[in-house]
């Protein structure tokens, strides 16, 4: 054991050189003995710390302090040993003393910050980090977190926007931004910091966006509009300015302004597709009320034609169906690609509403060939055949399709009612009465 310690001691003596800052600047003839005692105690503290004997390391460092009471290095070492013992109160005192003696040493400040962070003393930690940042810019990320912990959301937003602008987004900062927005619904956030940041850095887009969101979340739409207009003026290339201005163009029935903003956004890779989908749907509603903009709507529609995530013609078709504009519903639903059950049912229902029974029968029959287990297609084929007085064909479709109806009483009743019509058409009153009785029995169960 002694041999091991001796080897460690020799290694440290060989590797560690005490600088002039460690050893006091005194006359050698006056403190030769003191100097030897200091070195011996200092090296001993390093050895004891290395083998985790922190109590003994502290005793050795206290001897050093008695010899050199203004040595920042020793206080820093003392703080480390207290910190390893989780004696945060004494660690704080030691690190604080080190920083007082050497105010420009980054590592002394960082270790003091670690104490405050470990003890969740975030206000003190915040003060120290602000001193570290001039020495190490990376600690701005820590400052964001500390602003969040101390609920200084306005300052956090300004710093988040600065970091996003200079070094790009991070998942943590994005999460903080969402957290701040949720806080605005229950707390009043001072917007002065963001307004001041805009004046100081007019080219930082993030500050405008944050302020617009804050005003919007607090229903201060006029102020949000003013900020969006200022953003457009100061940063003409800002696509986000057009995202926000678009809303006001739509609300004020300014179709030309809305078209300009929509085109800018749709052609920008910076804007998320969900935002584009929302804007497009808003323009769809606007164009229905303002038919003179149908050409612009068609142009915007082509942007999504090959988008696998947004079946644009399906959405337009559904929209027109709900507005009972069957011709436009059919026109767009027929263009829809990668059709699913919902798209097909809207299309078949549109044919029915528009009394296009021959097309309805043909389309439903084609779908049965492709999807033979889907009962709705048999229903539409049967109903179309009834309307065309092809009662035998209708009866065949409906009887086949009824076998696939499972736990859907409404659809089953619809099938039975059409079978009543087919049976009547075939002159089979007994079957017609049977189907009618079953349909009435199911209606009674529904009540």
Contacts of 108 (CB under 8 A, 6+ apart): 72, 76, 95, 98, 99, 102
Percentage of the chain with pLDDT > 70?
90
- Whether the Cβ atoms of residue 116 and residue 122 lie closer than 8 Å to each other: yes
In this predicted structure, what is the pLDDT of residue 17? Answer: 32
**How far is residue 262's CA from residue 269's CA, in Å, rounded to a whole number?**
13
Q: pTM of this prediction?
A: 0.60
Of the two residues 12 and 67, the one the predictor is more confident about is 67
Which tokens hold the place of 390?
């092809």
pLDDT digits (tens, 9 = 90+) for 47-67: 999 999 999 999 999 999 999
Tokens 């302004």 belong to 257
* Structure token pair of residue 146: 């500390």
Is the separation of the CB atoms in 391 and 382 below 8 Å? no
Q: Which residue has the higher pLDDT, 13 or 392?
A: 392
For tokens 């739409």, the residue is: 221
pLDDT at 214: 83
Question: Burial, 342: exposed, middle or buried (Cβ in 10 Å; 0-12, 13-18, 19+)?
Answer: exposed
List, in order, residues 6 or more apart from 110 with CB less than 8 Å away.
132, 136
Q: What was the pLDDT predicted at 34?
A: 55
> How would you class 418 by CB atoms within 10 Å of its CB: exposed for 0-12, middle for 13-18, buried for 19 or more?
buried
- Choice between 204 and 187, residue whose per-residue pLDDT is larger: 204
CA atoms within 13 A on the CB side of 350: 27
Q: What is the DSSP string of 209-259?
A: HHHHHHHHHTT-HHHHHHHHHHHHHH-TT-HHHHHHHHHHHHHTT-HHHHH
What's the CA gap between 48 and 8, in Å, rounded?
10
Beta carbons within 8 Å of 125's beta carbon, 6+ residues apart: 113, 116, 117, 146
Specify the pLDDT at position 385.
97
pLDDT tens digit sequence for 219-233: 888 999 999 999 999
Q: How confident is the model at residue 1 (pLDDT cuts 50, 70, 90)?
A: very low
User: What confidence category does residue 35 fall into, taking pLDDT thresholds of 50, 70 and 90?
Assistant: low
What is the predicted pLDDT for the residue at 421? Answer: 96
Token readout for 257 is 């302004």
Q: How far apart (Å, rounded) are the C-alpha atoms in residues 363 and 343?
A: 13
Q: What is the mean pLDDT of residues 162-179?
A: 84
The per-residue pLDDT for range 321-350, each reduced to its tens digit, is 988 999 999 999 998 876 789 999 999 999
The string of DSSP letters for 274-288 reads HHHHHHHHHHHHHHH
pLDDT score for 447: 66
Reading the block at residue 281, the tokens are 């749907």
Query: Mean pLDDT across the chain, nearest whole number?
Result: 87
Residue 288 — very low, low, confident or very high, per pLDDT cuts 50/70/90? confident
Q: Which DSSP letter does residue 269 get? A: T
**Banded model confidence at residue 188, pLDDT cuts 50, 70, 90:** low
Burial of 185 (0-12, 13-18, 19+ CB in 10 A): exposed
What are the pLDDT digits (tens) for 87-119? Answer: 999 999 999 999 999 988 999 999 999 999 999
Question: What percent of the chain has pLDDT above 90?
Answer: 64
CA distance linking residue 394 with residue 365, whole number of Å? 11
Are 41 and 77 in contact, with CB atoms under 8 Å apart? no
CB atoms near residue 153 (< 10 Å): 24
| Gap between the Cα atoms of 379 and 404, Å rounded | 11
- pLDDT at position 23 is 39
pLDDT, residue 183, reads: 72
Give the C-alpha separation, 203 to 245, whole Å.
18
Q: Look at residue 391 and tell me whether its pLDDT is greater than 90.
A: yes
Check: CB of residue 129 under 8 Å from CB of residue 113: yes
Q: Which band of pLDDT confidence, cut at 50, 70 and 90, is reported for residue 194? A: confident
């Amino acid at each position: 054991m002694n041999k091991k310690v001796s080897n460690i001691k020799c290694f440290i003596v060989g590797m560690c050189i005490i600088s002039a800052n460690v050893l006091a600047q005194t006359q050698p003839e006056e403190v030769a003995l003191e100097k030897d005692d200091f070195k011996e105690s200092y090296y001993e503290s390093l050895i004891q710390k290395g083998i985790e004997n922190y109590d003994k390391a502290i005793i050795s460092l206290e001897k050093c302090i008695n010899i050199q009471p203004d040595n920042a290095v020793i206080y820093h070492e003392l703080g480390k040993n207290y910190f390893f013992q989780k004696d945060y109160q004494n660690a704080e005192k030691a690190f604080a003393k080190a920083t007082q003696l050497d105010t420009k040493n980054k590592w002394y400040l960082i270790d003091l910050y670690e104490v405050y962070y470990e003890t969740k003393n975030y206000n003190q930690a915040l003060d120290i980090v602000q001193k570290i940042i001039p020495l190490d810019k990376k600690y701005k990320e820590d400052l964001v977190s500390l602003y969040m912990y101390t609920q200084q959301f306005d300052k956090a937003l300004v710093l988040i926007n600065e970091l996003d602008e200079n070094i790009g987004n991070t998942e943590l900062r994005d999460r903080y931004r969402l957290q701040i927005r949720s806080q605005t619904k229950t707390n009043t956030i001072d917007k002065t910091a963001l307004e001041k940041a805009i004046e100081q850095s007019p080219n930082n887009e993030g500050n405008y966006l944050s302020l617009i969101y804050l005003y919007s979340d607090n229903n201060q739409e006029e102020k949000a509009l003013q900020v969006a207009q200022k953003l457009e003026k100061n940063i003409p290339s800002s696509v986000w300015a057009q995202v926000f201005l678009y809303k006001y163009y739509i609300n004020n029935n300014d179709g030309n302004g809305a078209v300009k903003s929509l085109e800018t956004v749709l052609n920008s890779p910076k804007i998320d597709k969900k935002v584009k989908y929302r804007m497009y749907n808003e323009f769809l509603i606007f164009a229905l009320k303002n038919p003179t903009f149908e050409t612009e709507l068609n142009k915007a529609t082509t942007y999504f034609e090959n988008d696998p995530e947004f079946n644009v013609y399906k959405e337009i078709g559904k929209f027109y169906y709900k507005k009972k504009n069957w011709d436009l519903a059919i026109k767009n639903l027929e263009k829809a690609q990668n059709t699913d059950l919902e798209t097909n049912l809207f299309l078949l229902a549109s044919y029915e509403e528009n009394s296009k029974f021959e097309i309805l029968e043909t389309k439903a029959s084609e779908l049965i060939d492709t999807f033979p287990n889907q009962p709705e297609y048999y229903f539409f084929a049967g109903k179309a055949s009834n309307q065309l007085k092809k009662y035998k064909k209708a009866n065949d479709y409906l009887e086949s399709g009824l076998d696939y109806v499972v736990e859907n009483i409404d659809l089953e009743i619809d099938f039975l009612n059409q079978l009543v019509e087919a049976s009547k058409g075939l002159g089979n009153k007994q079957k017609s009465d049977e189907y009618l009785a079953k349909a009435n029995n199911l209606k009674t169960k529904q009540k």
